[in-house]
Amino acid sequence: MSKLSRSLVPFLFCLAVSAEAFGLDPFNTEGITPPRPTPQTVGRSGDAPCAREIPAAPLTAIDAVDLTLCNNPQTREVWAAARVQAAQVGVAQAAWLPGLDGRLGASRYQNDGRYYNSSSAVLTLSWLVFDSGARSANGENARQLLAAAAATQDSTVQSLFLSALQAFYFAQATRAAVVSTTEAERAAREGFNAADSRYNVGVATPADRLLAQTALSQATLNRIRAEGEARNALGALANVMGFLAGQTLSLVAPPAELPDAGFQREVAALIAEAEARRPDLKAAEAQVKAAQAGVDLAQAQGRPTVSLSTGPTWAETDRVSVNGGVIGVTVNVPIFTGFDTTYRVRSAEAQVDVRAAQLDRLRNQVALDVWKAYQSLTTATQSLKTTLDLVASAEQSERVALGRYKAGVGTVLDLLTAQSALASARLQRIQAALDWYVYRATLAQSVGALDYTLLQPAAEGRP
């Protein structure tokens, strides 16, 4: 073996090993990987980096979404899954390139009392030049699974977006409930003081005083429960944002004005838009295409393949060198595989039916999601307007009842009934506002249009 050949063998071997050792990306799988979920990739204006700490200022709905997208572990999980699938595309493309294998050997053996040293080196270049379409099918399968992973990432981001808004609006509602129950407790205490004063001067019965005392105790209990629910809601919000429960959170106050109904449109148009935009539908469609490519792959695996191989060889035994080379063509024709190919194809075809049925089921579910969210938003809009009138009339009724009771022309039952009705009306107003914001976000998510544009009018601390 010449000195040039001897140096070429290890050089080519080391070159091939080094190319993979340095982690090169010749197929640009990084370029086809969907971007990591961040507020900016989801449509947030501005170029501020991801926030890793809860701000000192009161949280807005946009802040809650920002922190969720930056810190919730699910965003890292789905992005990692997409990177896994992008690498599989690279694996599929690598099958089109030739392979270079090096083999070195050394031995020592005895024959007729003499010891001999033997060493050898083989460098083989192999290339699969024909595989009946298996590599093409495998590449299509990998690309469709990557598309499904990217769509699944989008779907997860929208789900997290919705979860952040739901947790934020619920935390706002529970805090408003604390304010409402505190006000109800104050009113009950005022009623008790009035009853106690009338009892002390002998113009009210002990029963009146006991009823007022009971109403005050119930109002206090309601306030304590509301405070507990508010603390739990803040813990749930911290968890959604990717932090441990128990973080100190301060929220902006909810808006005082009525929200508009600009997001309401014809439900048929919303369903059609959902079918075009829902990322989970896109993921299901990509899964069907991947399964169809799986059928082609299973069929190709039972067909002939042609491979080329070539390379130099070198051997030395007892200081006697032998140089050579090899070139070959291998044709593999599967004649009988024990029906392996038959059942692989059947399994792949059945998988296509499974994915197609899942796609149809998801389409029906999308239509139902849009329908229910639309009807819920319509109901919430009407309820929100009605609760405003309810609270206004209940406040007037409570003021009249309290004035009549203090003047000695009303009964304590009238006063307690009016106070209870007012407390109930205020809580219904809070619940109606919560429902409206949640169902608006739910409708946007069911259509596949939940992004920061929904929150832009809510800037300056308005959810």
**Where are the chain's structural domains?**
1-32+99-130+304-336, 58-97+135-302+351-456
pTM, rounded to two decimals: 0.84
Measured CA distances, 181 to 186, 218, 336 (Å): 9, 10, 79
Whether the CB-CB separation of 58 and 97 falls below 8 Å is answered with: no
Query: Residue 11 — very low, low, confident or very high, per pLDDT cuts 50/70/90?
Result: low
Residue 210, helix vs strand vs coil: helix
Q: Which residues contact 227 (CB under 8 A, 6 or more apart)?
A: 178
Residues 6+ apart with CB under 8 A from 60: 252, 458, 459, 461, 462, 463
* pLDDT tens digits for range 289-337: 999 999 999 999 899 999 999 888 888 777 778 888 889 998 999 998 8
Check: CB of residue 92 under 8 Å from CB of residue 29: no
pLDDT over 80 at 265, yes or no: no
Confidence band for 451, pLDDT divided at 50, 70 and 90: confident
Whether residue 460 has pLDDT greater than 60: no
Alpha-carbon span 255 to 244, nearest angstrom? 28
pLDDT for the residue 338: 87
Asked whether residue 45 carries a pLDDT value surpassing 90, the answer given is no
The pLDDT tens digits for 93-111 are 999 999 988 888 888 877 7
Q: Comparing C-alpha atoms, which of 165, 176, 181, 174 is closest to residue 230?
A: 174
Categorize the per-residue pLDDT at 281 as very low, low, confident or very high, splitting at 50, 70 and 90. Answer: very high
Instruction: Say if residue 23's pLDDT is above 90.
Output: no
Q: Which CATH architecture has domain 1-32+99-130+304-336?
A: Single Sheet (2.20)
Distance CA(440)–CA(456), nearest Å, equals 14
pLDDT of res. 251: 94
Which of 25-34, 102-111, 155-164, 177-186 is predicted with the least confidence, judged by mean pLDDT?
102-111
- Could you say which DSSP state residue 59 is in? B
Q: List, in sequence order, every beta strand (DSSP E) within 270-401.
A: 305-317, 320-332
Highest mean pLDDT among 211-215, 253-257, 407-411 belongs to: 211-215
Q: How far apart are the C-alpha atoms of 171 and 164, rounded to whole Å?
A: 11
The residue whose two tokens read 């979920």 is 37
Question: Are the beta carbons of 281 and 362 closer than 8 angstroms?
Answer: yes
Q: Is it the case that residue 34 has pLDDT exceeding 70?
A: yes
Do residues 37 and 83 make contact, with C-beta atoms less than 8 angstroms apart? no
Angle at 59 between CA 54 and CA 63, to 5 degrees: 75
- Paired with 110 in beta bridges are 115
Band of residue 462 on the pLDDT scale cut at 50, 70, 90: very low
**Position with higher pLDDT, 10 vs 360:** 360
For residue 358, pLDDT beyond 50:
yes
Domain pair 1-32+99-130+304-336 / 58-97+135-302+351-456, same fold: no
Mean residue pLDDT across the chain: 87
Please provide the DSSP assignment of 95-120 as one string. Answer: TTS-EEEEEEEEEEEEETTEEEEEEE
- Burial grade of 12 (CB within 10 A; 0-12, 13-18, 19 or more): middle
- C-alpha to C-alpha distances, 227 to 51, 61, 252, nearest whole angstrom: 29, 21, 17
CATH 3.40.50.720 fits 58-97+135-302+351-456, yes or no: no
